[in-house]
Amino acid sequence: SRVACAIERYTLESAGDDRDRIVWTGPKGPGRRQLVILTSYDEGETFTNERTISTDLAAYSDLTKLSDGRLGVLWERDDYKYITFTPLDREFLEP
């Protein structure tokens, strides 16, 4: 089923970061299950490094870069009953 996903520029080499990164979040599995995050190093042409945020029901998600350099993921869970905020560090994205 259709669902709103999120995409955000995470790092920018021209701004002093080690490389360009764009990240995407959305449910992977059928029935809006398994919220994942993927990273692009080629300006969105391809996405790799799939990491699972949750294996449960997960619907809409949004992303923001936090002031401490981590990513913040805001997402719906548990059959739309809760909005959850999950901070992620770069080590989670690139183990």
Domain extents for the chain? 6-93
Are 86 and 76 in contact, with CB atoms under 8 Å apart?
no
pTM: 0.91
Angstrom distance (rounded) from CA 19 to CA 39? 12
pLDDT tens, residue by residue, 4-43: 899 999 999 999 999 999 999 999 978 888 999 999 999 9
The residue to which tokens 């398994």 are assigned: 34
> If residue 7 lies in a helix (H) or strand (E), which one and from where to where?
strand 6-11
Per-residue model confidence (pLDDT) at position 1: 56
pLDDT tens, residue by residue, 64-76: 999 999 999 999 9
